[in-house]
Every structure is written in C-alpha cells, then in structure tokens.
Structure 1
Amino acid sequence: MSNESKGRRVVDRRNREAEVLQAAVEVFYAKGYSAASVQDVADRVGVLKGSLYHYISSKEDLLFRIFAESHEQAVQIMEGITARDLPPRKRLEAFLTEIIHWYLNNVERVSLYFNEWRYLTGDNAATVRKHRRVFSDYLRDTLTDGAAELRPGTDVRLATFYMLGAVNNIPVWYRKTGPYSAARVASEFVSMSTFLAFTEN
C-alpha cells in the first residue's frame, strides 16, 4: 500500500470518528442518554452497530468522549484569553463573551454536559468532575486577580457561583428562534456580571 493510500485511510477514519461523536450528541440530546442506544447512534451514522465499536468501547465511552472533547474546546478558549495577558476585568469579559458564544453554538453538547454527566462511572466520572473544577477555578482565579477592583464586600466564591449558575443555565431557556441573538445574550450577561463584581470604571 502506498503512503498516499495509508494517509487517506487515516483521514477517513478521523472524519468518521467526528461523525460518530456528532451523531451521538444529536441522539443523546433528542432521546436522553438513558433511553438512547448504540444502535440509535449507528443508525444515525448509517453503519452497522458492530462497525461503531471500531471507534468506541461502550455507550458510556461515547458519552465521556463527547464531554472530553467539549472540555478541550473550553480549555482552548481559556488558554487563548490567558495568552492575551488582559487585566482581570477585561479577562473576565472576554472569557464570558467567548464561552457564552460557544455555549449557544453548541447547545446540545452543553445540555448533555450538565444533564447527563451523572451517568458516568468510575474514572470517567472522576475525570469529568476534575474538568468541571478547571472551569470554575478559572473564573474564580480571574476574580481573585482583580480583587483590588472588586466592589467592597464582594465574596469571590459566591460571585463565582452566581456567574456559573447564570451562564450554565443559558442552554435551558435559549432558543435560536427566540427574540434574543447570541450576541445580545453575551453582551447583557457580561455587563450584568461585571457590574455585580467590579466597581465602576
């Protein structure tokens, strides 16, 4: 087999894996993880159920890989913002803006992440709990770095919980066909969050 053919086979496999994960996102979101089956995912991809096991080891493995991929994308957002070396308030604004846009562009993934993670077991569950702390720690550390600019009496821990609750709840009520654009939601939530935590400029 030529090197060109080998390379083509690798690319095809990677593309198929992405297709499997996306199909799983759609199926799990539509039916709920507990009610969905590997067969449902195979049907969505258009392959035999046995063929799906070339890409996954179990239904739980499929759910975990969706979460792991979502976490990697969120970490890329954090790392990109950190690399810009912004002051704390601007870092918070950039982070909330970008993560809200990511949420609204990936509502199905985000909904799965917050509603179905309890079905993970063992190391998978432990890893996702660790991943969730990375998210909250980034937000808390950003507020802590800006302590000198925070409103007097602001409790960083409570402010972190407040912002997490507000942002994580967006996929519950947001509808693409609703009255608010993603840009409007991001802008308003960022304004309210920074007003809550920081003194006026």
Structure 2
Amino acid sequence: MKEGQSSRIAQRRAAALSGNTPDYIAKRNELVRVAAEVFREKGLAAASLNEIASRFGTDRASLYYYVGSKEELFQECITETVVLNLQRAKAITAQDISPREKLRQLIAVLINSQVEHYPYMYVYMQEDMLKKPSQDTEWTQTMVEHTRRLERYFIDTLKEGVADGSFRSDLSVTLIANSLFGMTQWTHRWWLPVPGGSRHSADDLIKVFTTVLLNGIEGADA
C-alpha cells in the first residue's frame, strides 16, 4: 500500500472510530472476533491479515478501514478482557470475606472469564505475555504489569490465609500461586469452553481446582 493511500485510510479510520457509529463498531467488533479465531488456530506469528480478511469476507486493503495492523487486532482481542479480570480480582480481595472464599472467587474469575470471553482469553493464555520477546512495546509492558498485578492479588490472599491460620505456613505462597496459575491457565490445551466443546463445565473446573488447592494448603485453623 502506498504511503499516501495508507495515510488517507488511517484518517478515515480515525474519523470512523471517533464517530462511534453502531454499524462501524459492530463490524469492527466482528473483525476482532474473527481475528481471535485465526490467532487461536495459528498463533500470532503464523496468522496473516490476508487470512483474517478472507474469513471476514473482504480483502486485506479493506481491513485498514477498521484496524492499522495485525498487532492492533491482537491487542484488541486481549486488552479489555485482561483489564476486566483485574478489576474483578481487585473487587474480590477488597471484600470482608475469608481468604478461602476470596481464593475460590478468584479461581472462578479465571475460569468463567474463559467462557465469557472466548476465544480472547484462549489467545491470551496461548501467547503467554510474560514470555513474549517484544516486551519493549508499551502495550506489552502494560499487559505484563496487569498480569503481575493479578498474580499479586492471589499471593496477597494466600498470605492473608497464612496469617490467620486458614492456610499452611510451611509452603511457599509464590509456588502455590504458580501451581494455581498452572492449573487454570493450561486449560486452553484440553478444555474448549463452548457448547459441545467439552464434557466438563466451568463449574466442574472451579470445584475441582478449588477443592484440590484448598485441601492441599489447609491450615490448622481452617
């Protein structure tokens, strides 16, 4: 695409975004959904704008009316969901409830998010933002920081449980948190959170993960 043409399309895209018309927003959201499916199937590196355009029912040049790049599409798939999970985790840890109940609700956030925001959370887990090589970009750094803040809510809850005797004090809370994330964030390899995708429901996963974790870290005062 020539530079002048690219500039004109970018101007049209900016005008359409600022106009916030329902039809444009709906089509852009649908494009993001289609892109997420391609990212899920192929991964970010192997996915191409040509294939995304084909699935969307248009050509590559027409995509630039909605997004500026493949990376922008990828970011659109992930950002809102990650921010929402962080907000929900913050609200849970602020409640005046037991550390056990906080942990149960935090686990539920991670699992239910995979259903509510499929396939966006699948793409996020699949790409593993903490290990991406392009951590020099502002967006990637922000996502890594969000991920670490989410981890902190879990670790703080575990520490709270250790302090009040609900959880064992002889285990590393960091290792417990890492084990928990290993359980909940590896589900994209074997669990498909769509109707007919798996014989196990989100509630099944929440119950098993919560039971396994809490029984393993239960303290004397639990």
TM range (shorter): 0.7 to 0.9
Aligned partner of 1:155 in structure 2 is 172
Aligned partner of 1:3 in structure 2 is none
1:56 to 63, 67, 86: 67
Aligned partner of 1:185 in structure 2 is 205
Can you list the C-alpha shifts for 1:110-166, whole angstroms capped at 9, x where unaligned? 332133242645223222211211221111111122222211312211111111111
Aligned partner of 1:111 in structure 2 is 122
Work out the percentage of aligned pairs sharing the same amino acid.
26
Aligned partner of 1:123 in structure 2 is 138
Alpha-carbon distance, 1:106 to partner: 4.2
Quick check: 1:151–1:198 contact (8 Å CA) kept in 2? yes
Indicate yes or no: 2:150 matched with 1:139.
no
Unaligned runs of 5+ in 2: 1-18
- Structure 2 CA distance for partners of 1:9 and 1:113, relative to 1, 3 Å: closer
Quick check: 1:60–1:120 contact (8 Å CA) kept in 2? no
Q: TM-score normalized by structure 2?
A: 0.76
Q: Which has the higher contact order (CA 8 A, sep 6+)?
A: 1
Alpha-carbon distance, 1:74 to partner: 1.2
The 5 A counterparts of 1:48-87 are 48-82=59-93, 84-87=95-98
| Structure richer in helix, relative to its length | 1
Amino acid aligned to 2:53: A
Alpha-carbon distance, 1:56 to partner: 1.7
Indicate yes or no: 2:45 matched with 1:34.
yes
Aligned partner of 1:199 in structure 2 is 219
Quick check: 1:107–1:171 contact (8 Å CA) kept in 2? no
Hey, what's the Cα distance between the residues in 2 that align with 1:47 and 1:83? 47
Aligned partner of 2:102 in structure 1 is 91
Hey, what's the Cα distance between the residues in 2 that align with 1:9 and 1:135? 31
User: What SS does structure 2 have at the residue aligned with 1:161?
Assistant: helix
Once superposed, which parts of structure 1, at least 4 consecutive aligned residues long, lie more than 4 Å away?
104-107
Can you list the C-alpha shifts for 1:87-114, whole angstroms capped at 9, x where unaligned? 2211111111232122245453233213
Quick check: 1:71–1:131 contact (8 Å CA) kept in 2? yes
Can you list the C-alpha shifts for 1:48-89, whole angstroms capped at 9, x where unaligned? 322322332211121122221221231242244245432221
RMSD: 2.4
Can you list the C-alpha shifts for 1:150-188, whole angstroms capped at 9, x where unaligned? 113122111111111111111212245444222111111
Alpha-carbon distance, 1:32 to partner: 2.4
User: What SS does structure 2 have at the residue aligned with 1:146?
Assistant: helix
Amino acid aligned to 1:130: E
User: What SS does structure 2 have at the residue aligned with 1:188?
Assistant: helix
Q: TM-score normalized by structure 1?
A: 0.84
Quick check: 1:42–1:52 contact (8 Å CA) kept in 2? yes
Hey, what's the Cα distance between the residues in 2 that align with 1:196 and 1:43? 49
Unaligned runs of 5+ in 1: 1-7
